[in-house]
Each structure stands twice: as structure tokens, then as C-alpha cells.
Amino acid sequence: MDYEYNPEEAFAINFGFLRVDGAWPTGITNPILRFIINEVSFIVVKSVICQNNYTVSVMNCCRFLYRIYGFCVLSIFTVLYFSTEIILMTVIWGDVQAMVDCSFLFLTHLSHSVKLTNFLLRQKRLDRMIFQLREPMFVPKRPEHIAIMKAAVLNAERETKMFLTITFGTIICWSILPLLSQKEVKELPLMGWFPFDTTQSPAYGFTYTYQVISVLLNACVNAMMDTMTSGLLILMGAQLDMLKENLQSLTDDASTMSQAEMKYIYNVRDVFQIGIMAQFLASSIIICLTCFKYHQHL
């Protein structure tokens, strides 16, 4: 059967968005990013490095430039943006109603920050885990295995596309609401503290654009991290189904495959358990705050 096993295909969309957002330096394939970084690397290497070890120098320079790019993107659109919410919470501290209104997105972004930090710190380990899926022990060898793996990859891709569609739809609705408002004072899509008057132009337009871009990038990164977690779990479920097929036919490598898969499952759990716990805690608090606010309006 003509089938090329490619587990990375399940995460193609994830890798694309994470690379654009500066959160996944492995194998830069985005054509725009690759062109810019390669051209800059060529200029830098040609001007400051001798022609010896040219290829290695360009590769190292590419990685270095991408890390600078990622640092700038994450600092401007994640750290700086989240700082405006932290300062706002400090300013309104003690005003219960204002704190409740601000907490809905503040807690969401707080859990996102924890997940992103955990993701970045364990990125190399996660990269090795994805590459590990190409080891012979995990490669489908029978027609039944191929059918199971094809369905798993398709499900992972479908789930990512669904989450991405919901993310874009939510951001579009959120961003146009202030523009449709009939209030005399201009409102921003999200709450935040800024050291200037955001109700006057051109400050309003600048801040509005900054918030929309920040929310778009952070929401996409958040969705891609979540769907990468679920995608790995889907692929491991497929591996367990393949193991079941082996056990039913009593193949010799069933025991070895079982041990390898259990070790891989433990690795998936260790990498993502902090992010999942942060998401669960933030969601629980948000639900409690929603009930509190609803009770106030009764």
C-alpha cells in the first residue's frame, strides 16, 4: 500500500502559526519569514564571517535571528499587552465590580501566560517527542494500522481547523463591537491601562490596532498549544489502537510496543499537565465570577 507515514502532518497548521508568532524555531518553513531571515543571515555572514563553514554559519545565524524575532514578537504583543492588564488590576484594586469585569480576560491571559511559559521551556523536549513518532516502533506496518493512523491525523487536523475558525470568528466579533457602539466616548475592545488618553485620535486608533493584533496572536498561539496537546493525545490513541490490533494477532513486538507507548504517554502528560491545570483553574474561577456577576443583576 502506497502510504507515506508523516505524523508531523497532524500539526502542520500548529507549526505554521507558532512559527509566525515566534514560538517555534524548529524548521522555519513560512516563505516570508524564511526569505527575510535567510537574506539577513546572508548579509551578516558575508560581512562578518569568513567563507569557511559558511553553511553552518548561516544556519546558526538563522536560528539566532529567529530567536530575536520571536523575543520581539512575544515581548511586544504578549508581555507588554499582559502588563497593561496587570497595571489596571493594580489601579482598580479594591473596586470589586471593576475587578470582576477585568478578571474575565485577565485570568484567561494569566493561564495563557503559564501555558506559554511551560510550552517554551519544554519546547526542545516536545520537538523530540514529535520526532520520536517516526521511530520504527511507532510506524504503522499493516493495512489496519495505516487506516487507524490516517483517521487520527485527519481528526487532529479537523480539530485544529475547527478551533482556528472559532478563534477567528470570536476575535472578529470582539474587534468590531466597539466600532458599532453608539456611545460618545470611544471604547477599546479590551480593558487595559495605558499612559495616555485612549479616547482621542490618533491614540485610539493606535491602541485599538495594537489590542486587536495582540489578541489575534495570543489567541492563535493559545489555540495552537491546546490543539497540539489534543493532537498528540489523538495520535497516542491511534497508537494504542494499533497495539490492540497487534495483541489480537499476537505479534512478537506487541510487548515492546506497549512499553514504548506507555513511556511516550507519560512524556505527553509531563509536558502538558501544567498548562492543562492552569487552564482548568482559570476556567473554574471565571465560572465563579460569572455566577457572582449574574447574582448581582438579579
Asked whether residue 48 is domain-assigned, the answer is no
| Total number of domains in the chain | 1
In which domain, by residue range, is 276 found?
73-296
Q: Which residues contact 167 (CB under 8 A, 6 or more apart)?
A: 219, 220, 223
Asked whether residue 37 is domain-assigned, the answer is no
Asked whether residue 4 is domain-assigned, the answer is no
Asked whether residue 41 is domain-assigned, the answer is no
Kindly report the CA angle at 71 between 75 and 49, in degrees rounded to 5?
150
Model pLDDT, residue 259: 65
pTM of the model: 0.76
Asked whether residue 65 is domain-assigned, the answer is no
Q: Let me know: does 132 contact 7? Beta carbons within 8 Å.
A: no
Asked whether residue 5 is domain-assigned, the answer is no
**Sequence-distant contacts of 194-198: CB under 8 A, at least 24 apart:** 194/84
Asked whether residue 26 is domain-assigned, the answer is no
> What are the two backbone dihedrals, phi and then psi, of residue 122, each rounded to the nearest 5 degrees?
-110, 20
Give 10-residue mean pLDDT values along the chain (298 residues): 77 87 65 50 48 53 77 90 90 81 82 87 84 84 87 92 91 86 80 86 89 91 90 87 75 60 70 72 73 62
Asked whether residue 155 is domain-assigned, the answer is yes
Model pLDDT, residue 45: 44
List, in sequence order, the alpha helices (H) in the chain. 12-20, 31-48, 54-74, 80-91, 96-121, 123-132, 143-180, 203-249, 254-296
Model pLDDT, residue 162: 92
Model pLDDT, residue 135: 83
